[in-house]
Structure 1
Amino acid sequence: MNFTIKTYRQLLKTLQNQGFSFQTFENFVQQPTLKATVMRHDVDRIPSNALKMAQIEAEMGIQASYFFRVVPSVWNEEIISKIVALGHEVAYHYEDLSIMKGDYSKAINHFERQLKRFRNFYPSKTICMHGSPLSKWDNRKLWDKFDYKNYGIIAEPYFDINYDEVFYVTDTGRKWNNGAVSVRDKVASGFDIKIKNTSHLFKLINEDGLPDQIIINTHPHRWFKFGFGWIKEMIWQNVKNAAKKILVARGQKSEVKGRRSKYG
Structure 2
Amino acid sequence: MVSVTDHGIRYTYDVYRDILDDLVDCGYEFVGYGDPMSDSSILLRHDVDLSPERALEMAEIESEYGIESTYFFLLGSPLYNLQFGENVDILREIREMGHRIGLHFGTHKYWQTEPDEESLVEEIRRELTILRNIVQPVSTVISFHIPPEWVLGREFGPFRHVYEPAYFEEIAYVADSSQRWRSEPPFPEGIPNRCQLLTHPSLWAESDATFEERLAETRDSQFDRIRTYIDEQFVE
Mark yes or no: TM-score above 0.5: yes
Which residue identity does 1:7 align to in structure 2?
V
Deviation at 1:56, TM superposition (A): 0.9
1:86 pairs, out of 82, 97, 100, with 97
Deviation at 1:139, TM superposition (A): 8.1
Structure having the larger proportion of residues in strand: 2
**Contact 1:98 1:139 (C-alpha < 8 Å) held by counterparts:** no
Task: State the distance in 2 between where 1:116 and 1:140 align.
Answer: 24
- What secondary structure sits across from 1:161 in the alignment? helix
Does residue 16 (structure 1) correspond to residue 24 (structure 2)? The answer is yes
Does residue 130 (structure 1) correspond to residue 136 (structure 2)? The answer is no
Deviation at 1:165, TM superposition (A): 4.0
2:204 pairs, out of 211, 216, 223, with 223
Which residue identity does 2:89 align to in structure 1?
E
Unmatched 5+ stretches in structure 1: 133-137, 179-194, 239-264
Does residue 73 (structure 1) correspond to residue 79 (structure 2)? The answer is yes
Deviation at 1:106, TM superposition (A): 6.4
Number of the residue aligned with 2:191: 210
Does residue 114 (structure 1) correspond to residue 102 (structure 2)? The answer is no
Structure 1 residues 55 and 140, CA gap change in structure 2 (3 angstroms)? farther
2:60 pairs, out of 55, 63, 73, with 55
Unmatched 5+ stretches in structure 2: 1-8, 217-236
**Contact 1:100 1:107 (C-alpha < 8 Å) held by counterparts:** no
Identity of aligned residues (%): 26
**Contact 2:167 2:173 (C-alpha < 8 Å) held by counterparts:** no
Deviation at 1:197, TM superposition (A): 3.0
Between the two proteins, the alignment pairs up a number of residues equal to 197
- What secondary structure sits across from 2:166 in the alignment? coil
The normalised TM-score by structure 2 is 0.72
Does residue 171 (structure 1) correspond to residue 159 (structure 2)? The answer is no
Number of the residue aligned with 2:222: none
- What secondary structure sits across from 2:53 in the alignment? helix
Number of the residue aligned with 1:245: none
Task: State the distance in 1 between where 2:184 and 2:103 align.
Answer: 31
2:166 pairs, out of 148, 161, 164, with 161
- What secondary structure sits across from 2:62 in the alignment? helix
Deviation at 1:140, TM superposition (A): 5.0
The normalised TM-score by structure 1 is 0.65
Structure having the larger proportion of residues in helix: 1
